[in-house]
Amino acid sequence: MTTMTPAATSGLPQKPAHRPVTRTAPPAPIPFSRVVAVEARKSFDTRSGFWLLASIGITALLATGAVLLWAPRDELTYDTFAGAIGFPMAVILPMVAVLAVTSEWSQRSGLTTFTLVPHRGRVIAAKAVVAVAVGVGSMLVAMVIGAIGNVVGSAIAGVDTVWDDGPRTLAFIVLGNVLGLLIGFMLGVVIRNSAGAIVGYFVYGFVLPTLAMLLANGQAWFHDLQPWVDFNFAQGQLFNGTMTGEQWGQLGTSGLIWLVAPLAVGLTMLMRSEVK
């Protein structure tokens, strides 16, 4: 004899047995340190990136050799070596920062990068950290090369070794070069095209200072205003090794105009732009 359940006798469909719902935990966000490590590796992975970074050490060696060969004996000082090394670095370091940003668009790797790390701000922040770290590290290496050249040069020439740049002066030089590097980074964020950003930096670094100097020499009103609105001029005071309170104010004011404000606009545009 078959026993009928109440549901079967009433003709109603039976409810399926309750099954526990399994919920998958969302993946943990990628640590910022890992994003920085990936961006650092990307700076060295390509042949062009490797040789661009290697050119920093190569130009430092060439500049040191040039001082040893052609500088007068009484000018074989650490300041002479630092000045010779500093000029090519002031040009190369901003290029490193430019390419760190624009590579995502020029090499069409941005879609992959921003898919793996959807928060674009974290990627750009990691690129900034890597660019500054590479810049500071490169300058420290260049300072060591300059110090070796100073010791070797004075020994060859038979003169006393002169250390006329102290830690404070060197710190100001590092800060000045980092600010120049950040200008390159800003142009990369705003323009997002390697060639355009590099041309923009050369216009900023070489054309605008010449025009500003001519205007300051011809117009008295701009002569007094220049330190407050010309970031190149205010930044150049750092390389003299001394800064007054007024000069720090001029650096901050002009930096807001030429660095902070354009970078903020560029970041806003970058966050909203379509990545292809």
pLDDT confidence of residue 160: 87
Q: Do the beta carbons of residue 127 and residue 39 sit within 8 Å?
A: yes
pLDDT confidence of residue 56: 86
Backbone angles phi, psi at 162, to 5 degrees: -110, 120
Angle at 177 between CA 146 and CA 142, to 5 degrees: 20
pLDDT confidence of residue 16: 56
By C-alpha distance, which of 234, 256, 260 is closest to 247? 234
Q: Do the beta carbons of residue 149 and residue 81 sit within 8 Å?
A: yes
Output the tens digit of pLDDT for each of the chain's 276 residues.
Answer: 455 555 555 555 555 555 665 666 566 677 888 888 988 888 777 777 788 888 888 998 999 999 988 988 888 899 898 888 888 888 899 999 998 888 887 766 666 777 677 788 888 999 999 999 999 999 999 899 999 999 999 898 888 889 988 889 899 999 999 999 999 999 999 999 989 999 999 999 999 999 999 999 989 999 999 999 999 999 999 988 889 999 999 999 999 999 999 999 999 998 887 766
Separation between Cα atoms, residue 199 and residue 235, nearest integer Å: 20
pLDDT confidence of residue 13: 55
- Kindly state the DSSP code that residue 46 receives in the 8-state scheme: S
By C-alpha distance, which of 82, 242, 243, 88 is closest to 163? 82
Separation between Cα atoms, residue 170 and residue 142, nearest integer Å: 11
pTM recorded for the entire structure: 0.85
Q: Is the dihedral of CA 214, 217, 222, 226 positive or negative?
A: positive
- Conformational region of residue 11, where left means phi above 0, alpha means psi within -120 to 50, and beta covers everything else: left
Residues found in the chain = 276
Two structure tokens written together for 2: 């078959």
Q: Which residues are paired to 162 by β-bridges? A: 77
Separation between Cα atoms, residue 64 and residue 69, nearest integer Å: 9
pLDDT confidence of residue 1: 47
